[in-house]
Amino acid sequence: MKYSDLIIRKIQEAKQKQITIKQKDKFSVLQHQEDDLLFQVKFKDIDKYGIVVDYISIQKLSPILDVDEINRRLEQQADAIQKRITYLLEDFKLIEIDRMSKRAQLRSYPPYKKENSKYFYEIVLDEGVKIHFQRYQYSMDEKRYEKITSQLTLEIFARLIDDLVEIIQ
């Protein structure tokens, strides 16, 4: 079974049984460990067509110890994201890569502009073993960022989970 199928099944089960591991701000957070991977998905709702997801976080539990190896992995992962995750209507671009704190930040480019706001996805890579996906809205009037949900079809969500897993591994 693919990781994506497993996660979707877990989320649906959680919704049906109304069992959530944590409940916060009307959102549910699924936390699930499978093999060497820890999944965290904060979601608002799911049905048979799609999911309203706040963030997806996947962490490989065995750390990489060599700094050069981490930085090499960060570059490879950033490159893979830009090439593979092209189905969200916005392509990704590497914005910053910080070799000291071993982090990389990618954002969808160009950000989608609607009225007085800009919308974009962000993926943060941490130490070569953690990947975090989130969507943001920037209000040009209020001049501040806000985390917002992504509304994805289950097919896209599944593909995203599998791609992120493959990239982190």
Partner 1 sequence: MLMNMQNDYNRFRQIIKGKIKQNLRKYISNGEMIGRKGKDLISIPLPQIDLPRFRYGDNGQGGVGQGDGEPGDPLTQGEGEEGAGQAGNLPGQHIREVELTLEELAEILGEELELPNIEPRGKKQIVSEKDRYTGIRRVGPESLRHHKRTFKEALKRQLISGQFNIEKPKIIPIRDDYRYRSWKTISHPESNAVIIYMMDVSGSMWDEQKEIVRLETFWIDTWLHYQYKGIVTRYIIHDAQAQEVDRETFFTVRENGGTVISTAYELCSKIIDKDYSPEEWNIYAFHFSDGDNWSRDDNQYCVEILESQILPRVNMFGYGQVESTYGSGEFYDYLEDYFGEHDKVILSHIPDKDAIYDSIKDFLGKGK
d(CA 68, CA 89): 33
| Bond preceding residue 110 cis, omega within 30 of 0 | yes
Q: DSSP assignment of 12-57, as one string?
A: HHHHHTT--SEEETTEEEEEEEETTEEEEEEEEEE-SSEEEEEEEE
Q: Is residue 143 part of the contact set for partner 1 (CB under 8 A)?
A: yes
Q: Is residue 97 part of the contact set for partner 1 (CB under 8 A)?
A: yes
CB of 82 to partner 1, least distance (A): 13
DSSP E strands in the chain: the ranges are 22-24, 27-34, 37-46, 50-60, 91-98, 103-109, 112-114, 117-126, 130-139, 144-148, 150-153
Residue type, 162: D
Q: Total residues contacting partner 1 (rule CB under 8 A)?
A: 22
What residues from 107 to 136 belong to the interface with partner 1 (CB under 8 A)? 107, 109-111, 118, 120, 136
Q: Is residue 62 part of the contact set for partner 1 (CB under 8 A)?
A: no
Which stretch in 21-29, 55-63, 79-87, 95-103 sits in contact with partner 1 by CB under 8 A? 95-103
CB of 19 to partner 1, least distance (A): 33
Which stretch in 15-23, 40-48, 81-89, 143-151 sits in contact with partner 1 by CB under 8 A? 143-151
Q: Name the residues that contact partner 1, by CB under 8 A.
A: 94-101, 103, 105, 107, 109-111, 118, 120, 136, 138, 140, 143-145
